[in-house]
Structure 1
């Protein structure tokens, strides 16, 4: 797949204008993060995974283009670990709102806003609710909820016979996707398991309120040691398919 067929940031403005006029009126905005991912993954992990997912989604839709991934995101729970960056919620919200306002002026009519970082989900739902009110002539989708994404992680674990809780932050899933799309940003010799266990809504709430260091010194939720590149390909297919299903439902329910 040629990324410049879908990535807005790699196109000239006349090319973008022509694509919109020909019916590519959906823009995909991924909100990601710049934050720690344990000993073995780069701080760009969520951004890399988010862009790969957005590109896969755009290719399948056929009428969508991909906005520059928004980074950093809301990562207060990772701040104790060096290099992590977090935005103030109002700054984060303003960036998304300005993306939408800009793309609206260019002729985009549908917007898919999804997150590749768990800390953004709750705010994204609030933001999209407000966007629907501010831009009633446009259609919006938040992609998946955090719990829907967690269900996909459970599906991933069952498919590959992994222990429950192996695929959280920096675990088997993210490591597999990174091995597939950006292996140069993975050091498997340093892959170290962190907290492994069921991530209930209560556990997630505690994580976001108290920080990841409260449950793991490594900065990992899950176990990355068994990750494989081919597993990453599977998850990109699964994630992009579910984003499309969610978007179709949201757009049809307008």
Structure 2
């Protein structure tokens, strides 16, 4: 198993990257995160923290991949009523993704995997990936099925013994569990508050903003979270995504 340091592109020196490419490391994992509110108890970089962890673990499990720096910020306009949120237009995010992919392609990476970790980024990733794939030699692999991603998070809770399920996940049990697993010191446990439960209109959240649904920025009950559930969630996503990547690489 490669060390975490050895697969983080941003911590490498250029001869190490050159050597990795020459020795068969041809896949780059690019998470697409955000800087946005996650209630009064989770940090603004929750989606980026998640992206960092996923890209590193995916690269480790593949064994022949590097984890590129997570792209941030993302498309978070629907969170702008909460201070600290930073958002960019979808067109800007897609331009950044194009630039990332072109750069990695120029250096000889043959497979570029896009891993959105914020709901507002799934659409732009899915839209831009086919265009980028036509522009460069590398294969672009977008893991941008939001329904699948939400299901993997809910499945992780269930497998950890937490009987809790949300159609729309934000700052509740699943995401709180992930941060507890990755860096528990970032969770303000004393500030945990629940938010609306049940059916949530995604269209309303996106068009009218989160504050029309939840005053504290939370959906569901984060008090249900445990670090053990967070670890199960992360491993579920990693295992599923690694299988997707291997299947895509074999089909090229």
The bucket for the TM-score relative to the shorter chain is: over 0.9
Number of residue pairs matched? 250
**What CA RMSD, in Å, does the superposition of the two structures yield over aligned residues?**
1.6
Q: 2:213 aligns with which of 198, 212, 215?
A: 215
Give the C-alpha shift of residue 5 in structure 1.
1.2
Q: Which runs of 4 or more aligned residues in structure 1 lie more than 4 Å from their structure 2 counterparts after TM superposition? A: none
Does the 8 Å contact 1:72/1:87 carry over to 2? yes
Alignment partner of 1:24: what SS? coil
Asked if the contact 1:144/1:246 (under 8 Å) is kept, the reply is no
In the TM superposition, residue 198 of structure 1 has moved relative to its aligned partner by: 4.0
Range that drifts further, 64-73 or 146-155: 146-155
Normalization by structure 2: what TM-score? 0.94
Q: Partner residue of 1:86?
A: 87
8 A contact 1:32–1:70 mirrored in 2: yes
SS in 2 for 1:205: helix
1:72 maps to what in 2? 73
- Give the structure 2 partner of residue 228 of structure 1: 226
2:147 maps to 1:142: no
Deviation at 1:167, TM superposition (A): 7.7
The residue that corresponds to 2:120 in the other structure is 119
CA distance in 2, matches of 1:196, 1:245: 33
Structure 1 unaligned spans of 5+: none
Offset of residue 166 of structure 1: 8.6
Structure 2 unaligned blocks of 5 or more: none
**SS of residue in 2 equivalent to 1:182:** helix
Deviates more, 1:112-121 or 1:170-179: 170-179
Q: How does 1:1-254 map to 2 (within 5 A)?
A: 2-135=3-136, 137-159=137-159, 160-165=161-166, 168-198=169-199, 203-254=201-252
